[in-house]
Amino acid sequence: PPQINEDFEAIVTWADEVRRLGVRANADTGEDAAKARELGAEGIGLCRTEHMFMASDRLPAVRQMILAETEEDRAAALETILPMQQEDFEAIFTAMRGLPVTVRLLDPPLHEFLPDLVEQSLLVQRLELTDGDPAELTTARALLGQVKRLHEQNPMLGTRGCRLAMLYPEIPEMQTRAIIRAALAVREREGETAGVEIMVPLVAYASELRAQRAVVERAVAEELESAGAELDVTVGTMIELPRAAVVADQIAQHADFFSFGTNDLTQTGIGISRDDAEGGFLSAYVSEEVIPHNPFESIDRDGVGGLVRLGAEGGRAAKPDLKLGVCGEHGGDPASIGLFEELGLSYVSCSPYRVPIARFAAARAVLAQRDAS
């Protein structure tokens, strides 16, 4: 009803006057970005690019990109994907004109892209057992051999994030080109584009970010030169591994911003699989009060929260004006937002529908701090 909407607007506007933290949203389609903006998001804090790669009509080219044995084959696959990526980014930049968008470079656990490893080995077994078509067997074995090269027992701790990009710098290069072309196309069409921030995932070593930054900067420079255009682009990183929090001062040398990925930071900081966060020992721990709450829902203040504090302090020690945000699920959790306020982070980023809650929570966190002091 209109009255409720008006009251809601009035209260959220009041919260906006009080809060200090910025509130962004996590979105990876133009539709979600538009929804987020409608709900008051002041930018996109995390645009994941994995889902764009998983579309069924793209998977063959994506697999080719990873499995290609020659540079030519990989280049051909990347050339097919680039315009598709550009289209994805154009939709998001159009929806977010005038606001910042943090695009995260590809962070795929490999088993999600290569799910047919098991299928392929079953096919080989069947053909061997049944004396099947030798040509088919040869092809199946060759494919299995290729896929096995990348098979990992624990893909969530494997060739994810920048680790894949370190092996194949052509991938972040292609994504960067798509981002820049999209930003320029939107500016040309709409007169204004989004603020482009490029983010490197799963960094543990400063040398990784240094190398990835060089790849990104080179591609940005080439794209802008060939378009005869100028565009401000910042490059930063996720802080989502304990090592990254510990050496944040070294990593900050190569970063314009940090975004804390509290999902992976919780997984690796406490050593609990995020894929099993719902059940098993964790729910027993919570119900038997071994721990006060599920650490994937609200930040573990003493533990993972301590890693965020360490990362923020290290980053600021190296670069006082380093921009700091949070884009893990905790960014939309009122209990966690209190800690992010205390640490003086710049913004939280959460799913679009949690944006209004985060706006309230950020205001409450300011009032709670005032009461405490």
Annotation-wise, does 294 bind a ligand? no
The DSSP secondary-structure symbol of 130 reads T
Distances (CA, A) of 347 to 182, 188, 240, 260: 25, 29, 16, 11
Binding mask 292-321 for Mg ion (x = CB under 5 A): ------------------------------
**Joined tokens for residue 2:** 């209109």
Please check if 80 is assigned to a binding site: no
**Closest separation between CB of residue 265 and ligand PEP, Å?**
6
Residue 298 binding ligand PEP, by CB under 6 A: no
Among 327, 350, 358, 362, binds ligand PEP (CB under 6 A): 327
To ligand PEP, the closest distance from the beta carbon of 184 in angstroms equals 27
**171 burial type by CB count under 10 A (0-12 exposed, 13-18 middle, 19+ buried):** buried
Q: Which of residues 64, 80, 234, 263 is near ligand PEP by CB under 6 A? A: 263
Contacts with Mg ion in 212-241 (CB under 5 A)?
240
Q: Is 107 annotated as a binding residue?
A: no
Angle between helices 71-95 and 59-67 (to 10 degrees): 130
Segment interacting with ligand PEP (CB under 6 A) among 78-86, 245-253, 260-268, 276-284: 260-268
Distance in Å, CB of 177 to ligand PEP, minimum: 22
Active site positions, annotated = 327
The span of 90-98, 223-231, 257-265, 310-318 binding ligand PEP (CB under 6 A) equals 257-265
Binds ligand PEP (CB under 6 A): choice among 30, 100, 172, 261: 261
- Interaction with ligand PEP in 92-121: which residues (CB under 6 A)? 107
Distance from C-alpha of 321 to C-alpha of 221, rounded to nearest angstrom? 24
Select the binding partner of residue 262 from Mg ion, ligand PEP, none (C-beta < 5 to 8 A, by kind): ligand PEP
Q: Report the residue number, 197 or 240, with the smaller CB distance to Mg ion.
A: 240
- Taking the C-alpha atoms of residue 265 and residue 202, their distance in angstroms, rounded to an integer, is 10
Q: Which of 48, 359 has the CB closer to ligand PEP?
A: 48
Residue 327 binding result from Mg ion, ligand PEP, none, given CB thresholds of 5 to 8 Å by partner type: ligand PEP
Number of residues that bind ligand PEP (CB under 6 A): 10
CA angle 285, 290, 296 (to 5 degrees): 55
Dist CA 12 CA 25 (whole Å): 16
* Footprint of ligand PEP on 5-24 (CB under 6 A): none
Residue 26 · residue 350 · CB < 8 Å: yes
Output the smallest distance, CB 43 to ligand PEP, in A.
15
For residues 99 and 93, what is the distance between their CA atoms, to the nearest angstrom? 9
CB closer to ligand PEP out of 22 and 261? 261
Return the residue of 261, 325, 331, 332 that touches Mg ion, per CB under 5 A.
Answer: 261
Return the closest-CA partner of residue 244 out of 273, 201, 274.
Answer: 201
Minimum gap (Å) between residue 205 Cβ and Mg ion: 16
Is 248 in contact with 265 (CB distance < 8 Å)?
no
**Is residue 264 part of the contact set for Mg ion (CB under 5 A)?**
yes
Residue 48 sits in the site that holds ligand PEP (CB under 6 A): yes
126 is in an annotated binding site: no
Least distance between ligand PEP and beta carbon 62 (Å): 17
Cα–Cα distance measured from residue 319 to residue 220, given in angstroms and rounded to the nearest whole number: 23
| Farthest CA pair distance, the chain | 79
Whether the CB-CB separation of 248 and 310 falls below 8 Å is answered with: yes
Ranges assigned E (strand) in 158-256: 195-200, 233-239
Q: Please report the DSSP string for 50-106 in residue order.
A: HHHHHSTTTHHHHHHHHH-SSHHHHHHHHHHHHHHHHHHHHHHHHHTTTSEEEEEPP
The answer to whether 329 contacts Mg ion (rule: CB under 5 A) is no
Instruction: Please name every residue paired with 26 in a beta bridge, in sequence order, or none if there are none.
Output: 46
Binding residues for substrate: 48, 104, 240, 261-264
> What is the binding site for Mg ion (CB under 5 A)?
240, 261, 264
> What is the binding site for ligand PEP (CB under 6 A)?
46, 48, 107, 240, 261-264, 327-328
Binding residues for Mg(2+): 240, 264
